[in-house]
A and B are shown apart, each in its own frame.
Chain A
Amino acid sequence: MRQARWLLALLAVFALVAAACGDDDEAAPAEAPAEAPAEAPAEPAEEPMEEAEPAEEPMEEAEPAEEPMEEAEPMEEAAPSDGTGYSVAFVFDLFVNDGGWNSTHFRGVQQVQDAFPGLDVQVVEEVSPGPGATNAFEDLAEAGVDMVIATGFYQPDAEPVAAAYPDTIFLTWAGWTTTDNMGHYDAATEDGRYLDGLIAGSVTESGIIGYPAGFPIEEVNRALNAFTIGVREINPDAVVQVVYINSWYDPPVEQQAAEALANGGADLLAHELNSPAVASVAESRGLNIIGYSSDRSEVAPNAWLSSFTFEWGPYYIDQIQSMIDGNWEPALTYGGLKDGMIGNSPYGPDVTDDILALVDERRQQIIDGTFDYFAGPLVDNEGNVQVPEGGTIPFEERTLCCLWLIDGIEGSIG
């Protein structure tokens, strides 16, 4: 009887030890990749071009599957990692199904899951930037997550946590300073917005385009300026009326702003807001609509024209791949059309073949670097020359622009 008890106790101890070892084994590979960035001395890799390759990465993975040789299976596991043993957490400020900003990132998450079937992917929703976000990052780092990808404006909240947990890589959207284990990314919305502007300019008949937007900050104004440049290239007399609603997502207010713009004579609405409310107004009022990063043709089948889209997936896959390979380096990534971070939605019925031909031509020129829509002179709507003849807003300095609205925009950022 006594012996049996001793045996049981021993078994229990063994079980505990085994369990603890098991945990260690799992944790071990998690630490390995995180060391890499720490070792790689602060080479502030500023090349934002890195993400050009990633688009092909998932393709490569698909290839071995096509090979008829069935014995090749162990090879498959050895060659490109499927992410087993690594963990990544994506942090969202709202729900991933908001149909707007968060949904565009969530599409990237799904692409990541397809590319790395073995990767442990966590999705954390409803983390408002602020002290709560710092706590969330801390919890994730404490739990041993290898990479935290924060899809909103989180640099201030992530910075202290990144410093305290050097083994966890942090990526935040639209941050501005890198550290050994923290990088940032943003997409050149203006690339897509310029092309949308060409389409808008070709469609508007009243020459008044309504543009409800979120906040009068650089990013929004930059996209709005590029949009207006596109509009005026086709229709030099057209004006773009902007109203700022001081929110990114507020359907009732978005609807009111859109109604007011429609009442003011706009026959086309474009917007930098996340809900379907503006598209809904356009459809019910018989106007046209240019979307913001999401296809709204379902809400507005007749009104729909086009929208640029965010393509975050390839960038995320690239970052995770380099983490797994152990050669991740912190970078400030700014991706546009040529990097594949900006795409476009399907076009609506009112978009003519003529304008599409021009849009395709311009897109290729922007990718090739032979056309610059920000080429000077650029004059703001108060008559000040912001970019002189022969000048431009260089791609790498774009995030500093713009606290001015270009000629052709009715409205002010004051």
Chain B
Amino acid sequence: MNDTVLVLSIVSAIVAGTPILFATLGEILTERSGVMNLGVEGMMLIGGVTGFWAGVQTGNLWLALLAGGLAGAVLSGIHALLAISLRVNQIVSGLALVIVGGGLSAFWGNSGDAPLIQSFNGVRVEPLLPEALRDLPAVGPIVFGHDPVVYLSWLIVAAAGYFLYRTTPGLSLRAVGEDPAAADAAGLSVTGIRYLFTLVGGFGAGVGGAYLALVVLGTWQTGLTAGAGWIAVALVILAGWRPWLALLASYVFGALRTLGFTLQIAGVEVPSDFLNMIPFVVTFLVVIVVSANPERARRVGAPASLGEPYSREAR
């Protein structure tokens, strides 16, 4: 039961979806504050290389994830400075992060006497829960068989959902994203909140990149995210800026990563390039459906002032 293709594929999907989930959650919080950061791919890469480096140095998973998150946050700080304080076009600034993050991580990964690209990280993750639970049919591997980071991501999903909809700071965050002028008038620091959640978003992307390099792949390679950051950007829209849906969407797209090969082994020829395209095609469809009707768009959850710099004087 527990070693059937279906159960094993679901487990693989959850592991493969976890880096995307961290990045998506981070980007949801950033965009909820009204800042669009398209630099997720770059932040994941810089988080990945930093986390991998920290893993090689310390062998400690949590320190490595923290290092990756901090590196992602530092990079997103550049975006915050440009997009919030200097009111640069957010799309241009986000794209610049992708290039900077990709270049920096490639440089760091290849330089030095013992380049990371051929290093081995000593980080090993073990399942969190006892074997008796993990051996339960089906739910054992799927629900109880994961490493602690997966459970942490579930906790964060729940916490983010609670924070956004059930707490006053969460309300403040949404207010800043929906109507910064009103939030400003109510005494909230629009700039401060936007800075904070842009950094939080960068931290999430960095953790995702670090988890990808350390645990999912166990190796560092130039450009190893291979579009995972872009998938995260797409999933934010697909999930309607809601943490719970981000969880679901991340795992579905985690499943798509191995589906092509599973089908190929089963004798069904589906070009893997076609499967890799699906997240973006689905996102296109969702965006079209959503934006065809402004009322629906508002209900789905796109923050009203997403991507618009706020300037008090400009009012």
Contacts and interface: CB of A to CB of B under 8 A. Distances in A.
A263 B266 CA distance: 11
B261 A251 contact: no
A12 B216 CA distance: 65
Interface stretch (B219-227, B278-286, B299-307): B219-227
B219 A97 contact: no
Interface residues of A, number: 35
A255 B265 contact: no
Contacts of B117: 95, 97-99
Interface stretch (B5-13, B72-80, B185-193, B199-207): B5-13
B110 A256 contact: no
A259 B258 contact: yes
Given A241-B265, A260-B261, A263-B8, A277 B226 contact: no
A263 B12 CA distance: 8
Contacts of A263: 5, 8-9, 12, 258, 262
A99 B118 contact: yes
B9 A298 contact: no
A265 interface: yes
A314 B258 CA distance: 41
A97 B221 contact: no
B148 interface: no
Given A243-B265, A259-B258, A264 B5 contact: yes
Contacts of B272: 245-246, 253
A255 B118 contact: no
Interface in B138-169: none
Contacts of A259: 12, 16, 258, 261
B171 interface: no
Given A263-B8, A264-B5, A253 B262 contact: no
A264 B221 CA distance: 27
Contacts of B59: none
Interface in A76-125: 95, 97-99, 103
Interface of B: 3, 5, 8-9, 12, 16, 110, 115, 117-118, 120, 216-219, 221, 224-226, 228, 257-258, 260-262, 264-266, 269, 272
Given A99-B118, A262-B8, 16 more contacts: A97-B117, A98-B118, A99-B117, A252-B224, A256-B258, A256-B260, A257-B261, A259-B16, A263-B8, A264-B262, A264-B265, A265-B5, A280-B217, A280-B219, A299-B120, A299-B219
Interface of A: 95, 97-99, 103, 241, 243, 245-246, 249-253, 255-257, 259-265, 275-277, 280, 283-284, 298-299, 410-411, 414
**10 tightest Cβ-Cβ pairs between the two chains A and B:** A280-B218, A260-B261, A263-B8, A99-B118, A260-B258, A260-B262, A251-B221, A252-B226, A259-B12, A257-B261
